[in-house]
Every structure is written in structure tokens, then in C-alpha cells.
């Protein structure tokens, strides 16, 4: 990719007119960040620009002392010869699509996005543009999401059944975004709710932004707890660690879009998988990509070959963003 607005360099997407990178790797002078997940907002850059609600989350991830400026959604700012603005991506709190305009040409970098409803973050905004760079984590039609209310009901039902058997419910969910989305839907009448220490720091920022959570206790290192009929939310990274050993008799589940496929669920030997994703599903990807009315579409993040071919067959100018790093399953 190389045009007047954006080009792909070793560190990531670069805007020559404004001399900045979007979600770069390595060390750059100016980084524009779509959201605070660690594969997008990385430490080590000289200065950062992100959305207002992203700022406090990014500080938790990359350090309070980092040089971070922020903008409200929709407000335009000039960086060199480029006009830059953030538009809600609906992925997690503060997640943005970055709109870059140079000499009347508009490109939008989606970051990660989700057009489906999510009560814990700003709703996705469709932005018309000449070129759209879309994620495609779930770029196959086997991935189609149900409304989140249904998944919340399933989780509460599972929790209730476990509680009636006197078992603890241990639910793995990514610490930023997914965990909060799960928490917001829990029915606290079933029992107490605990969260792993990696999940806890983000809660106050979500609450400041208007999210409503039930009462939650943080699990402190070295303390003894009687979890009993509790719901415990922890990041999947601790699944095979010593931390999880104290939950030997607990029922275990994972909340992720990958859980749509049975094999992914069984390989982890989980009792349950809840299909709750922070990314667009197949229908969501198509709806958004077509909705932008972009003349040129690039897909990245995930296996974009199928989506690309499907759109090409329908007459869209779509291709895989060559050279972009293929990301694994982290942060889904």
C-alpha cells in the first residue's frame, strides 16, 4: 500500500503528509492509537494521540508518564498536511476508527471494530471514505453472533446451575473489554462476583464513562477466599497457571468469538464456551465495508483471503494488506 494518504512501512501504517504512524510497532516519533489493546497501543513511542476515553486505559497499559494527547470523538485536528479525527469503533471503550484526510482524499483505518450493540462502549459509527482498511479477525461466514442479551442469559443460567451444585464458576475473558462486557450482564442475585487483579483496574474508567456494573471484589494475591457459589472472571492467560489451581472443582468457561466452533472449545477442555466477541462477525464486516462506499478496501488482522475473494467476486476493489503482520488469537 502506498498512496498520498497512507503507506505501509516496517513499523506499520504511516501517513507521510502528517508524519505519524497508526498503531505502530517499534519506536516512532508520533503514534496515533486506535485502542488500548496491547497489539495496537504499544509502549516505547515518543508521543501518542488517541480518543479521550481511550487515554486512561492506554495509560494503564503503557504507563502514566507516557506522553499521551487525546481528542473527543468526531473532532478534527491538523497534523502537518493531514486532517485526523477519531470515530467510535464499538470494539471496547474508547476504541476508534482513525479518519485521515489529505488533499480531499479520505482513508479510514478501522482498528478493531464491532457494529453490534455493546452496552459498555460507544456505538460504532459508519464513516464514508475513499479507502477503508478493515480488520477481518472473523472473516468467514461460520462466525455470526447472537445479540449480547442472549449470551448474557446463557452465562447467568450457567452460573445459576453451577451455584445450585455448590460449584464456583470460573469464566475466562480478556481483561480489557470482554471482562467488562461480561460483568455488565451478570445477575448479582445469583452470588458474589470476583475478578482477577488484571481485570480490576479498568473498571473505574468504564464506570466513569457510564458503564454499570454489579458489585465486584478484587482477588488480592496471598489472601484466602471462600469462592463457593461465586462467579470469578479472569484473563485466559492464567488458564494454565498456578493461579487457576485453587479452582480445581470449579466449572470453567471462556467467552470469545472463537467459541463458535466446537473444536476450539474442546481443545481447551472447557465446560462451556460463550460466543461473545468484540469483533465484527461475517455479516458485520460485509455491512460495514459496503457501507463505507470505499473505492478501495484493504483487509488486515486475520485470514483475509476468503473475505477478499468474496468481495472481489461481487465487484469490490478489495485486497489483503500485504506485509501487515498476521495476528494470532490474542485479544479476542
Residue among 65, 313, 315, 328 that touches other proteins (CB under 8 A): 313
263 binds other proteins (CB under 8 A): yes
Which of 73, 77, 72 is closest to 30 using CA atoms? 77
Q: Which is nearer to other proteins, 133 or 270 (CB)?
A: 270
Helix (H/G/I), strand (E/B), else coil: 170: strand
Locate 198 and state its grid cell: 488484571
Contact window for other proteins (CB under 8 A) among 13-21, 111-119, 197-205, 263-271: 263-271
Mark 119-147 as b/e (b = at least 16 C-beta within 10 Å): ebbbebbebebbbbbbbbbbbbeebebee
- Closest separation in Å from C-beta 141 to other proteins: 6
- Min dist. Cβ of residue 316 to other proteins (A): 14
**Rounded to the nearest 5°, which phi and psi values hold at 184?**
-60, -20
Q: Which is nearer to other proteins, 83 or 259 (CB)?
A: 259
The position carrying cell 464506570 is: 207
Find the binding residues for other proteins in span 53-112 (CB under 8 A).
Answer: none
Report the C-alpha gap between 113 and 111 in whole angstroms.
Answer: 6
Closest to other proteins by CB, 222 or 263 = 263
Stretch that binds other proteins, among 1-9, 22-30, 47-55, 269-277 (CB under 8 A): 269-277
The C-alpha atoms of residue 195 and residue 166 are separated, in whole angstroms, by 19
Among residues 272, 283, 296, 316, which is the contact residue for other proteins, using CB under 8 A? 272
- Cell 476508527, located at residue: 97
CB 254 → other proteins: shortest distance, Å? 13
The contact set with other proteins (CB under 8 A) reads: 140-142, 144, 260-263, 269, 271-272, 306, 309-310, 313
Amino acid at each position: 500500500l502506498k498512496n498520498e494518504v497512507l503507506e505501509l512501512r516496517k513499523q506499520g501504517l504511516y501517513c507521510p503528509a502528517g508524519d505519524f504512524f497508526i498503531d505502530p510497532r517499534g519506536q516512532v516519533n508520533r503514534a496515533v492509537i486506535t485502542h488500548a489493546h496491547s497489539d495496537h497501543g504499544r509502549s516505547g513511542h515518543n508521543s501518542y494521540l488517541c480518543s479521550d476515553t481511550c487515554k486512561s486505559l492506554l495509560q494503564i497499559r503503557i504507563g502514566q508518564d507516557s506522553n499521551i494527547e487525546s481528542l473527543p470523538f468526531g473532532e478534527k485536528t491538523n497534523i502537518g498536511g493531514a486532517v485526523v479525527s477519531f470515530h467510535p469503533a464499538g470494539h471496547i471503550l474508547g476504541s476508534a476508527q482513525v479518519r485521515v484526510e489529505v488533499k480531499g482524499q479520505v482513508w479510514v483505518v478501522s482498528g478493531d471494530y464491532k457494529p453490534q450493540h455493546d452496552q459498555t462502549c460507544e456505538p460504532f459509527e459508519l464513516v464514508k471514505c475513499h479507502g477503508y482498511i478493515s480488520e477481518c479477525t472473523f472473516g468467514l461466514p461460520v462466525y455470526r453472533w447472537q445479540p449480547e442479551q442472549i449470551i448474557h442469559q446463557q452465562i447467568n443460567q450457567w452460573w445459576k446451575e453451577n451455584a445450585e451444585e455448590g460449584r464456583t464458576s470460573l469464566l475466562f475473558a480478556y481483561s480489557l473489554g470482554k471482562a467488562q462486557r461480561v460483568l455488565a450482564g451478570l445477575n448479582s442475585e445469583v452470588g458474589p462476583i470476583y475478578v482477577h487483579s488484571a481485570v480490576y483496574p479498568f473498571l473505574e474508567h468504564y464506570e466513569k464513562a457510564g458503564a454499570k456494573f454489579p458489585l465486584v471484589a478484587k482477588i488480592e494475591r496471598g489472601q484466602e477466599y471462600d469462592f463457593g457459589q461465586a462467579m470469578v472472571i479472569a484473563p485466559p492467560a492464567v488458564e494454565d497457571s498456578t493461579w487457576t489451581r485453587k479452582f480445581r472443582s470449579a466449572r470453567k468457561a471462556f467467552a470469545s468469538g472463537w467459541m463458535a466452533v466446537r473444536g476450539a472449545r474442546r481443545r481447551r477442555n472447557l465446560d462451556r464456551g460463550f460466543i461473545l466477541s468484540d469483533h465484527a462477525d461475517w455479516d458485520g464486516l460485509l455491512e460495514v465495508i459496503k457501507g463505507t462506499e470505499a473505492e478501495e478496501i484493504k483487509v488486515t488482522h486475520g485470514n483475509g483471503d476468503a473475505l477478499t475473494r468474496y468481495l472481489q467476486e461481487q465487484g469490490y476493489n478489495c485486497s489483503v494488506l500485504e506485509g501487515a503482520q498476521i495476528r494470532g488469537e490474542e485479544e479476542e
